[in-house]
Chain A
Amino acid sequence: MAVSGQYLGMALSIPDLDGDNAAYFRFCAQGELRLQRCKACTLMRYPPGPACPWCAGNAFEWTPVSGRGTIYSYTEVRHPVQPAFRAHVPYLVLLVELDEQRARPTEHEAIRIIGNLVTADSALAPPELIQAAGIGSRVRVVFASAGTDVAIPLWTLDAGQPAGAMPWRYPE
């Protein structure tokens, strides 16, 4: 059945024929981050899609991942464009490199997932939390419910930050 949801006032729509996205967001609604793992070459992929980028295989299984990773890059948005974000600037868009499958299948590859920095209970991060995050920060996934069968995966600062090393932040 087609899935529809609401998140920060934005309408989400996943029609029946988009099985890959429907499954991805249904697992999120169950509090699980799962990725497609190719049955032929065993590599995982992101974003969800109908074929394996490494071997073009179509058979896959949804595999749970730890939901932990490192901020690989980010942008701090101060000028909102989408109406839903007008009340939320500044906000951080993160590019998170997952712990699983780093530097595979080549040294340049990784599973990198876009998402916002949020509090532990999935609210967009307040300014003091934004100031604490940067490239190198450790994060873990949390979910914001957007309906019965859909939740949005987001990222919050993890307990174990690298000792001694400050995250890299835009110099200003």
Chain B
Amino acid sequence: MQTTEHVVEGARHLRGRYAIVGVGETTYTRGAGMTTRALACWAIRNAIQDAGLTPRDVDGMLAYQLGDSTSSTFVAGDLGIRPDFFMDVYGGGSSTEALVGLAMGAIEAGMCSTVVIYRAMNGYSQSRIGGTGRPESAIAGEQLHERPYGWSTPGQLFAPSFMRHMYEYGTRPEQVAMVRVAHSRHASNNPKALHRKRVTVEDVLASRMICTPLHLLDCCVETDNATAIVVTSIERARDLRHPPAVILGVVGRTCKPRPDMHYQHGPITAVAAKWAAPRLWSAAGLGPQDVDVTGSYDAFTFTTMLQLEDYGFCTKGEGGAYVASGTIELGGQRPNNTSGGHLCEGYTHGVSMVVENVRQLRHDADDSCPIGADGRRAHTYDYREGGCRQVRTVNVTANMGWGTPAYGSALVMARTA
């Protein structure tokens, strides 16, 4: 029986050896009016073009889904990609960063050289994560200990961790609501975000209660969209269209002990990030204090707060004060989800927050700032509504993907190796 903490060392030999060189997405809508296959093609085409590549340059594909999307073989064929490597992984949140690591591994193993990772979902019009309200089939297996209790949606399943955090640390609803407030301010400067309207703490607390402690505005949006990223070696990256977003470290899907949804291992206020953090930071060769911009999976306001705590951006238990302090807002010390994230921009199970941080590292956030004579956006750093969302100095970013309280993934990127 193992009772001591397991100390890990991340793999330093791959630090700086791989990069994200292309990012792409569809629009974020409710009612795309097309298949996940068509959405995937749209996002991947954009990502490949963004990289300055053609489909013939791509020889690896990774996708993830929950039985709600189109697999790589169809999408590859549609786009004229002939993969030497592909894999369709089961999963939602926490997949993105882990798949970046798998892409690096496939290239390192000589299985392929350039990998597209995509997630395509009609999360509003077809398969809604929050449930459709349609009658369910007979309850069996593990579900016998969940669904008979009306305990089935992500919000319902995660709520015991959130409530216990409030109980143990005195975390207040108005503190956590500041995550939504911050992300809505960011989204107001993101022309492609679904919800661009800025909200206040009062708006969040006045929105209807879904299940305590989650008001409607503590929950992410449901949208139809696809997102894609392109991973390749640093050598290949050097002569492509944009400065590479260099990968320093990746972890995932790291688990707590007893990684099912039944909270047998406590404290239940500690999430998988606590176990992922040592491997992540030692692989990346730096720590949370060195990070300029974070992307923390905001399925709910609380998931962002818990991950920021357990990756070490603030002291455990002080997440409420931390997210309410202005630190995570544009203009603050370490902005989080500058696109508006899943709470406001749209829901793509994590890829979109990596897309955003790649653009931040390129100094090329697609806000409403004017395009200068050199063809590049002339960022104003005026973060008022409708303005800029480029962070002034971005050398290192961290993405934190959430599956459940019990498992997650993370990715650290930098401007230079």
Contact = CB atoms under 8 A, between A and B. Distances in A.
Interface of A: 4, 7-8, 10-15, 18, 21, 25, 41, 45-47, 53-55, 72-85, 88, 91, 93, 95, 105-106, 108-112, 114-116, 135, 146, 152, 168, 170-172
Given A108-B266, A152-B148, A79 B142 contact: no
A135 B148 contact: no
A78 B214 CA distance: 10
Given A81-B133, A114-B145, 9 more contacts: A10-B136, A10-B148, A18-B140, A21-B141, A73-B263, A81-B150, A108-B267, A135-B167, A170-B213
B7 interface: no
Contact of B159 (A8, A11, A75, A108): A75
Q: Which 3 A-B pairs have the closest CB atoms?
A: A75-B159, A81-B131, A73-B160
A77 B149 CA distance: 11
Given A75-B159, A114-B146, A170-B213, A81 B152 contact: yes
Most chain A beta-carbon contacts within 10 A, residue among B136, B140, B151:
B151
Contacts of B172: 171
B236 interface: no
A93 B144 contact: no
Interface of chain B, helix or strand or loop or mixed?
loop
A146 B172 CA distance: 40
B1 A55 contact: yes
By size class, the interface of chain B is: 35 or more
Nearest to A84: B150
B240 interface: no
B164 A21 contact: no
A47 B140 CA distance: 13
B135 A83 contact: yes
Contacts of B152: 81-82
Contacts of B145: 47, 114
A78 B150 contact: no
A60 B146 CA distance: 24
B262 interface: yes
B177 to A, nearest CB: 13
8 contacts: A11-B138, A25-B144, A72-B160, A77-B150, A79-B210, A108-B266, A114-B145, A114-B262
Given A21-B144, A77-B211, A115 B149 contact: yes
B139 interface: yes
Nearest to A18: B141
Given A53-B258, A81-B130, A4 B161 contact: no
A72 B164 contact: yes
A93 B1 contact: no
A112 B260 CA distance: 12
B34 interface: no
Contact of A170 (B131, B160, B166, B263): B166
B139 A10 contact: yes
Contacts of B136: 10, 82-83
A127 to B, nearest CB: 14
A73 B158 CA distance: 11
B358 to A, nearest CB: 35
A68 to B, nearest CB: 18
B156 interface: yes
Contacts of B258: 53
Given A75-B156, A152-B148, A170 B139 contact: no
B262 A79 contact: no
B160 A12 contact: no
A12 B3 CA distance: 37
Interface string B248-289: 000000000010101111111000000000000000000000
B173 interface: yes
A72 B267 CA distance: 11
B213 to A, nearest CB: 6
Contacts of A13: 138-140
A46 to B, nearest CB: 7
Contacts of A106: 3
A78 B1 contact: no
